[in-house]
Amino acid sequence: MFNPSTGLPDDRKSMYNQQQNSVYKSGDKTSPISVILVSSGSRGNKLLFRYPFQRVAECPSSLAAKQRNPYALNTSGDGLEDQDGDSREHSPLTDEQLVAGFSDIILATILATKSDMCGKKFELKIDNVRFVGHPTLLQHPPIIQVSKTDPSPKREMPTMILFNVVFALRANADPSVISCMHNLSRRIAIALQHEERRCQYLTREAKLMLAVQDEITTVTESDGSPQSPFRQILPKCKLAKDLKEAYDSLCTTGVVRLHINNWLEVSFCLPHKIHRIGGHHIPPEALERSLKAIRPYHALLLLESEKALMSQLPLDCSPAMMRLIKTCSAVKNLQQLAQDTDLALLQIFQIAAHLVYWGKAIIIYPLCENNVYMLSPHANICLYSPLAEHFAQQFPGHDLPSMLAKFSLPVSLAEFRNPLEAPAQEAQLIQMVVWMLQRRLLIQLHTYVCLLVPPSEDEPGLRDEDPPLAARVGGRSLSTPSALSFGSPTSSDDMTLTSPSMDNSSAELAPGGDSPLNKRMTETLLASLSDHERQVILNIPAAQNQEDLRMFARLLHYFRGHHHLEEIMYNENMRRSQLKTLFDKFRSVLVVTNHEDPIISIFQSPME
């Protein structure tokens, strides 16, 4: 792929990156336009803080003084101009201009809702702006104050009734982004409500913000120079700093980590910013579907080092997660992780899904010599890219372009093995493959099998009334065992990669002679086929061997192109050589294809 920054000098590269970041921040539909804090109480509706700061317009008194000159031009109605004086009348509105038309009074009026709307999702669309928040009602316990001079107790109630942390988005923002922003607003509101009940934290911060606003208003009226009160609030108010940090994090990394009042931690991640491949983001719905479809034979690949992940964990982190991070390996499947960590398989699934959602890991198939990898079509193959420099530092004596060239065509890891090489070189190869998988430079191809019987001469095509094979043999599908579905109770904790539990038909069709029971079971399984399909299969020379025919009938429900070779091996406790031998014997009616696993492909290739 063409990289516009390749070949540029260092100073021009820096300028290019800054331009790209600014465009990404202002034009991205996943980034908020502004964060606003409003309150409602006995003093009316108040806008306590907003970020980014609105460009301060000149006050009317100064404008009137300028217009005293009869020859002065009135430019108040002209097009918007930037600081350099360039006209932007015909350019699209920036994020700042989208919210510039809303004054503080208007925002306080429309965002400070009634008490009946508290505790619910707040969403309001005005022109090109959509406001999303979670208004929260403050239920203060009465505070009894006893004065030294006046012994009679006095009950003092705080003046604030409700508050709302609102994120302004573009009107055409994705519904999943709107839902995520509401979730963050709700989390911040819950933390602020807790701290308000505990120590009146929000009331103190609100009084500080209003005091600064009153002070700035007084100064502006005296000397006539307009100033932004929110710029003065920021260095003095901890809550304002937290809201600014949340906004900046949402616009850059997508990971928000706040400590409200230096006490309560609020953690949040925007998956649209974290899960991005090739400039495309992974929809949260697709991510959730993939996490629900993970199987015990999958593996968890950490995207950061163990030390880096452990340093990011909170102090009250679950010991099970720490144990999994220390034990996790690219060559271990989830079932082996459950055994090594002494945790339930369902808990391993939940921790793995948590790490994947936060962008700290991805789901892969465990590394083995039979894995087939290929260069990702979305990989950055520039000679002097930052990835190439990092690879050269990580693996001295090797360069990334030469390594990627070896995967231009599908190749298995077994082809890289050399019996004459030292074991350390094989370990380094595994580390390099892991490094490339972490950067999404490689994709793994799996083998899928489809049953395709040639049509007979009398019936050149499939009749319309004949259902497809998937519908005819779908009664015994083992594509997604319900006991292993993510988030559901599991009774398969005793399953392992080498000896998984086998289904009933597998046990009944175990090799043991040409018994009448085995023959009847074989005929029953083949009964889902049409007469022509059954006759073609029985005429294959390999079908004369009853053991091969029983194995073919037993695996018939896998021959729909939905189950890759490794899944069949796991579910049926079979060796790869057995399956390949069977495929070769029945190659006249089986079509073998190689492509990505749909379950984990979203972590390797962007969705078109």
- 208-224 pLDDT, tens digit each: 999 999 988 888 877 76
Q: What percent of the chain has pLDDT over 70?
A: 72
Query: 321 with 351: CB under 8 angstroms?
Result: yes
d(CA 138, CA 196): 8
pLDDT digits (tens, 9 = 90+) for 301-333: 999 999 999 998 888 889 999 999 999 999 999
Which parts of the chain sit beneath pLDDT 50?
1-26, 57-90, 146, 154-155, 462, 464-465, 470-513, 608
d(CA 87, CA 146): 62
pLDDT digits (tens, 9 = 90+) for 487-514: 333 333 333 333 333 333 333 344 444 5
d(CA 232, CA 235): 7
Q: Is residue 444 helix, strand or coil? A: strand
Largest Cα separation within the chain, whole Å, is 112
pLDDT of 283: 81
First to last CA, the chain: 17
Selection from 307, 309, 303 nearest residue 276 by Cα = 303
- Name the helix (H) or strand (E) containing 136: strand 136-137
Q: Is residue 558 helix, strand or coil? A: helix
| Residue found by looking up tokens 């969403």 in the block | 123
Retrieve residue 124's tokens.
Answer: 């309001």
**Helix residue ranges per DSSP H, 127-237:** 175-199, 201-223, 229-233
d(CA 382, CA 379): 9
Q: How many CB atoms lie within 10 A of CB 324?
A: 25
Query: 448 with 563: CB under 8 angstroms?
Result: yes
pLDDT of 85: 41
Selection from 105, 228, 250, 232 nearest residue 168 by Cα = 250
Query: 424 with 390: CB under 8 angstroms?
Result: no
Selection from 361, 319, 348 nearest residue 340 by Cα = 348
Retrieve residue 314's tokens.
Answer: 């909170």
Retrieve residue 166's tokens.
Answer: 């609102």
pLDDT of 142: 54
Question: Which residues are CB-neighbours of 171 under 8 A, at least 6 positions away?
Answer: 125, 127, 128, 129, 130
pLDDT of 518: 61
pLDDT of 93: 58
Looking at residue 39, its amino acid is S
